[in-house]
Amino acid sequence: MSIQNNYVAIMAGGIGSRFWPVSKTRMPKQFLDMLGVGRTLIQSTYDRFKHIIPQENIFIITNRLYVDIVRQQIPDIPDCNILREPFRKNTAPTASFATYKIKAVNPDANILFTPSDQLITDERSYERNIYEAFDFVNRNDSILTFGIKPNRPEVNYGYIQFEQAEDSQDDKILKVKTFTEKPNLELAKTFLKSGDFLWNSGILAWNANTFVKILERSLPDLYDVFQQIETVIGTPGEVQDIEHLYMQCTNVSIDYGILERNNSVYVLPAYFGWTDLGNWDAIYNNVEKDYLGNAVLGSRDVLVIDANNCLVRLPEGKTAILQGLENFIVVDSEDALLICHKSNRHQIKNYLSELRRNFGDKYL
């Protein structure tokens, strides 16, 4: 297998509404330094792959609204490697678009499809797993997903149940038995106790030709749309033609539309210090805290009095006094303020729906 056949497609088109009021439509979380490390999430993801894959083989797929932001934050990436989705149509169309565009460059491409909003702490293990994934999909007509061993009954992740090792094609790679979307707490506890469930990381790998065959079986309507898109890639009218055809795409996730409908999906149990940065709680768990458990990001001019286990993020140069709060999220931006108990962090999207009903989209 030639390393020149290995590609990565980084998803960077979401809004990240769970990180309101910092993440908004005009500047979503993937383009922000959410962890206070001096690099945005997409920059950190891109940096991670520069040492694994030839830079010309790294693609970023984003909404057309964010193309200029990608150019600004990743100046090294060729413009042709920024894939512009005209509309948000969920992850199955996104994966299809990335695959067909990369396939037009290299019909033998092995593709890693990954979010841009994950924290990886053990990059050496990550790199090793990436190479294992490319080798597997190069040799097998299968989709490979990365599974993370759960250490708690988490209700905000999807789960992958795997079959026993003797049924797998490789010693370390296991056949997927079932996918389960975010379970309730009791079910999550059962999954954790059983020992044959992994968290679904959302990181996937496939060979381009394999993906097209699986897409035809799983989502024939979407396959028909992308067969038409394939004919306009590289033509003078590509952007306009794709925009017209993209409207016909089914709004469906890759998990539901493709993975759950196929028996040729495998999972690689991975151990590389993975965290999905999906909400403020994930940020809190991965940043420095004081002796009372308070994490302060952005402005450091925060006076904490009789408060503990809080996450505070303020714009640089802003001063605040935090007194008497326990387990709260306090996030300020230039035009909006969030004060929310941690136990209600998963309701932020619902709160934003209420905000929209009362004030329109101006704060979103």
pLDDT in tens, 303-314: 989 999 999 999
174 contact partners, CB below 8 Å, separation of at least 6: 162, 163, 164, 165, 167, 168, 266, 267, 268, 269
Is residue 7 within 8 Å of 53, Cβ to Cβ?
Answer: yes
Average confidence (pLDDT) over 345-351: 86
The residues pairing with 115 across neighbouring beta strands, listed in sequence order, are: 11
Task: Please give the angle made by the CA atoms of 27, 313 and 293, to the nearest 5 degrees.
Answer: 140
Among residues 348, 252, 285, the alpha carbon closest in space to that of 35 is found at 285
Decide: 274 and 118 in contact? Cβ < 8 Å. yes
For the stretch 131-177, pLDDT in tens is 999 999 999 999 999 999 988 888 888 899 898 765 444 458 999 99
Of 202, 5, 221, the C-alpha closest to 103 is 5
Q: What is the pLDDT of residue 168?
A: 46
- What would the pLDDT profile of 287-341 be if each residue is shown by its tens digit? 999 999 999 998 888 998 999 999 999 998 899 999 999 999 999 988 899 999 9
Residue ranges with strand state E in 181-308:
197-207, 265-270, 274-276, 295-298, 302-305
Rounded to whole angstroms, the Cα distance separating 347 from 350 reads 5
Select from 15, 25, 13, 19 the least CA-distant residue to 363.
25
Q: What are phi and psi of 100, to 5 degrees?
A: -65, -35
2 pLDDT exceeds 90? no
Quote the pLDDT of residue 121.
93
pLDDT of residue 171: 52
- The phi and psi torsions of 134 (rounded to 5 degrees) equal -60, -40
Determine the pLDDT at residue 113. 97
Per-residue pLDDT tens digits for 92-102: 999 999 999 99
- Most confidently modeled of 69-73, 187-191, 258-262? 69-73
Distance CA 212, CA 122 (A): 32
pLDDT mean across residues, the chain: 91
Give the dihedral of Cα atoms 160, 165, 167, 171; nearest 10 deg: 110
Residue 1 has pLDDT above 70, yes or no: no
H/E element, 176? strand 174-180
Residue type, 112: L
Q: How many helices (H) and strands (E) does the chain have?
A: 11, 17
The predicted-structure confidence for 112-131, as pLDDT tens digits, reads as follows 999 999 999 999 999 999 99
Share of the chain above pLDDT 70, in %: 98
Q: Which residue type sits at 50? A: K
Question: Which pLDDT value is given to residue 166?
Answer: 59
Does residue 199 surpass a pLDDT of 80?
Answer: yes
User: What average pLDDT score do residues 258-264 get?
Assistant: 90
Domains and CATH numbers, the chain: 3-276 (3.90.550.10), 280-359 (no CATH)
